[in-house]
Structure 1
Amino acid sequence: MYAFLFSTDFNCRRVTTNCWDKGDTLQGLAYSPVFLLGFLVNAAALHAFIAKRDPWTDTHIYMLNLVIADTALILFIPLRIYDAFYCLHPTPLCTFLIFLHYINMYASIMTTTAISVQRYLVIRFPLQARSWRKKKETACAVCLLFWGLLVTICAIFRKENYPDKLWKCYERCKNIQLNPKFIAILVCIGFLTPLLIIVFCSSRIICILLKEGDKSEEKKSTIGMVTANMIVFIVCYTPIHIAFIVNYFENVSDNWQCEYLPAHAYLLVAEWIASTNCCFDSISYYFLLKRFYLFK
């Protein structure tokens, strides 16, 4: 999905023959279990929200926003699988699919960041947190801000993934340079800033819980879950953003269609790793937030 970060001139040689290869087949096989597992866990999460009868809190709003982002990403993976086996040629639909995936992935990142900040504030300032007003309204405003920001960025850089710049439906022409400002936004604002915030909040939560005298199994399990969520975030999203940078600076010859590019292969693997995060969110955050008594 993110294979659109390549360099040099602005003359894209379009694919006019069958674009199938072994790499495409492997992609189709790799994304199939991601779709099946992701669909099941996110469907279960949505069902839990629909069946919920207790009053909603700001945490539930963030969680629902996270599930919506992950579900929207999951629902369009079948088109990626279809493209792997039957080759969708570049059309406006492909442009839409690229940006849709982009929006939902970063909506998930931003919502995860918001949840980490909220949990840190609740644990760091427990008495003040109980007296905070309009928490649900604030959560709704934050989620809307995330979606609005992402849609705006896509609108600004919409021409970067127009069909005339696509080699395959999910791949940008390797000899066309992506706007460096777009890469800077993706890497710095979309990943590094959330990463620093999540690492800080998670680390502080762990330190606070370790300093407390209560060493119950539940407290230890909570620490383990916070640590696991932080590690999952790092493992899932670090490779793809490294790939963005590596592919941008990669030298591509005029015969790029016939070349095997290691950086491109790495990018495809990193894309898959990033997509697997939608399977972990619903599972990990459900148990994490439940242990913090957030579903009461």
Structure 2
Amino acid sequence: MNRSNCSFSELRSSPAFTYFTFVYLGLLLALGLPLNGLALWVFCCRLRRWTEAHVYMVNLAVADFCLLCVLPFMLYSLKDHSEDTPFCQVSQGIYLTNRYMSISLIVAIAVDRYVAVRHPLYARGLRSPRRAAAVCVVLWVLVMGSLVLRWLLREQEGGFCFSNRSRHSPYTVAFSLLGFYLPLAVLVFCSLQLATALGQRPDTDSGQAEATRKAARMVWANLAVFLVCFLPLHVVLTWRLATGLNTCAIHDALHITSKFSDANCCLDAICYYYMAREFQEASPLASLPTAKAPKSQDSVCMTLS
């Protein structure tokens, strides 16, 4: 049983906070639509050859579009408290699907890179675009199936259409934490292994050394995006589950960190340009005058993408 209850939050009821939230979500919508639209157009229309990373990134872009599609309804709900209707529940389901599909796909990309770099002989038999597509199908089914199960049990995690505090149960919080900390452990392991492997590579020339440094920075950047977007929310959920508190401060922290996690729809799109060499070549940005990458740098990029 919760130790205390929050029926009114001064922070979330203040006009300044509401205005800031509107501006923040509006910026995500304005940036996310063109960025992810460009990513999907390049991946689906401009790339000549599909790789495992491209399959994962297309699915990641689709998941981000799902979040962008429900942002207008989120903005509406901030102004007029929406009732718990089936349409609102579907919107919330799409919102949660984006969050945990993003987590799952980021980890899948890290595992794919780990296999390619640390186990190159096995990678030839394990990695293929077709198998990457099969992994994505399994992830979509698992994530959406879990959300349907929670909807049938009427134990939603909560959000812009689920303000009923009684639905916040330890079961759903524990489910959310499992869906984050287990992938986090896998991602940290793969990132450390990749960084170690890249650091041990011999530098045959200056181009190879620069390519290795860029690849290592890309690995750490992907881990940083994951932590910045998703760690604060799940730290608050962990604290809530451990203490059993249901105060206004906890709800305010959940609200803020949940919106903070929405930034992944823009940060993912920015990462696309650096994650795939072919994306850089096919993107309209490639027409800008830039120096051509050395051949040694291409080999490292192809290994990671």
Q: TM-score range by the shorter chain?
A: 0.7 to 0.9
Among 155, 173, 196, the alignment partner of 1:160 is: 155
Q: Structure 2: which amino acid aligns with 1:187?
A: L
CA distance 1:20–1:182, change in 2 (3 Å): closer
Counterparts of 1:77-226 in structure 2 under 5 Å? 77-129=71-123, 131-132=124-125, 135-158=128-151, 159-161=154-156, 169-174=160-165, 176-188=166-178, 190-214=179-203, 216-226=209-219
Question: In structure 2, what is the Cα distance between the partners aligned to 1:294 and 1:212?
Answer: 13
TM-score (norm 2): 0.79
Question: In structure 2, what is the Cα distance between the partners aligned to 1:169 and 1:114?
Answer: 29
Among 265, 274, 280, the alignment partner of 1:287 is: 274
Q: Structure 2: which amino acid aligns with 1:172?
A: S
1:59 matches 2:68: no
Question: In structure 1, what is the Cα distance between the partners aligned to 2:92 and 2:3?
Answer: 21
CA distance 1:45–1:199, change in 2 (3 Å): same
Q: Could you report, residue by residue, the CA deviation over 1:127-168 in whole angstroms, capped at 9, with x for unpaired residues?
A: 442x32672222121111111111221121101249xxx8x8
Question: In structure 1, what is the Cα distance between the partners aligned to 2:211 and 2:58?
Answer: 25
How far did 1:110 drift?
A: 0.4
Contact 1:236–1:273 at 8 Å: present in 2 too?
A: yes
Q: Could you report, residue by residue, the CA deviation over 1:184-241 in whole angstroms, capped at 9, with x for unpaired residues?
A: 22111x1011111111111111111111112522221111111111011111101111
CA distance 1:34–1:123, change in 2 (3 Å): same
Q: Percent identity?
A: 27
**Greater helix percent: which structure?**
2
Question: In structure 2, what is the Cα distance between the partners aligned to 1:204 and 1:134?
Answer: 18
Question: In structure 2, what is the Cα distance between the partners aligned to 1:169 and 1:193?
Answer: 26
Question: In structure 1, what is the Cα distance between the partners aligned to 2:301 and 2:65?
Answer: 24
Structure 2, unaligned runs of 5 or more = 278-299
TM-score (norm 1): 0.82
Question: In structure 1, what is the Cα distance between the partners aligned to 2:26 and 2:198?
Answer: 39
Contact 1:90–1:169 at 8 Å: present in 2 too?
A: no
- Name the structure, 1 or 2, with higher relative contact order (CA <8 Å, separation 6+): 1
CA distance 1:25–1:247, change in 2 (3 Å): farther
Question: In structure 2, what is the Cα distance between the partners aligned to 1:195 and 1:88?
Answer: 33
Question: In structure 2, what is the Cα distance between the partners aligned to 1:205 and 1:133?
Answer: 18
